[in-house]
Chain A
């Protein structure tokens, strides 16, 4: 299934946010997620299904002013 991950096209085999995170190697990384500009809490990742063309954002802590 083709989705967009952090702005780039990405072919994934999984169909939930959590499974895509696992598939892409995030493992236990400290990240937060949003799908189509809507926040997906960590506790909802396993139940949040992705569809073709969805835009997944995966962010982590960074330097800021």
Chain B
């Protein structure tokens, strides 16, 4: 079990709900992944459209916890207002806080992120900040009241995997007791397993599953990888070494010239 803000979640996989070929495939992907948390968003709706209600009905069937985001927000004001609207719509204090600072990389704006995190925490939100591997920024976010950190693996939607292993390892080591979720940039289950082996508490991904040729199968692949990676971490892996060490005992080997 992993716990975020005192709420225990059985699965260490969080899955986004965007970009699937169809609602049916989204549902299959969630079922096969075993994901315990779904990320969702808010967007403009026209009068009489009722798309929001239809999507919400689908999400309720998934039997997962919901983590709304502030995706696409570039200012503190925008992110805070979006979070407030999301809290009302989804009836949860959880918010995945995105304050984007750079258009091409979708890199978080660290200054806006901390400011928005402080405002939202003061308003009773439980903030999941989408951040980088920067340990000073992480410290500021914790000071602002965040109890979870979501460092990126790579820029959103790239599928590049963990592009700064050193930075992520340093972040993890610096704050060993803070729940951390590697969020964004994962493309393959092996990368999710790698994050879990590095002692991250969970991973969050969307595009890697939704844009796979068979999203449901990929979702299952990620689900298994997250479990495998976590098991490996808990099993205390061996230390790598440079020189070979025979695994088969030499004692008793037949003497054959």
Q: State the A residues within 8 Å of B (CB).
A: 6-7, 21, 24-27, 29-34, 37-39, 41-42, 57-65
Partner of B89, one of A6, A7, A27, A30: A30
Residues of A with C-beta under 8 A to B42: 32, 59-62, 64
Q: Which of B62-91 contact A (CB under 8 A)?
A: 68-69, 71, 77-78, 81-82, 84-86, 88-90
**B41 and A64 within 8 A (CB):** yes
| Assembly CA distance A26 to B85 (angstroms) | 16
10 nearest CB pairs, A to B: A60-B52, A64-B41, A65-B16, A65-B206, A25-B47, A32-B85, A60-B45, A24-B47, A39-B84, A62-B43
Q: Which of B33-55 contact A (CB under 8 A)?
A: 39-53, 55
Residues of B with C-beta under 8 A to A33: 85
A65 with B45, Cβ < 8 A, contacts A29-B52, A32-B89, A60-B53 known: no
**A63 and B17 within 8 A (CB):** yes
A32 with B86, Cβ < 8 A, contacts A37-B81, A64-B17, A65-B16 known: yes
Most buried by B among A42, A58, A59: A59
| Assembly CA distance A37 to B78 (angstroms) | 7
**B44 and A6 within 8 A (CB):** yes
- Total of A-B residue pairs, C-beta within 8 Å: 117
**B18 and A65 within 8 A (CB):** yes
**B89 and A59 within 8 A (CB):** yes
Partner of A39, one of B16, B46, B51, B85: B85
Partner of A38, one of B16, B46, B81: B81
| 20 further interface pairs, Cβ-Cβ under 8 Å (given A34-B85, A64-B39, A65-B206) | A24-B47, A32-B88, A32-B89, A34-B84, A42-B88, A59-B43, A59-B44, A59-B45, A59-B52, A60-B44, A60-B53, A60-B89, A61-B52, A62-B51, A63-B40, A63-B55, A64-B17, A65-B16, A65-B41, A65-B184
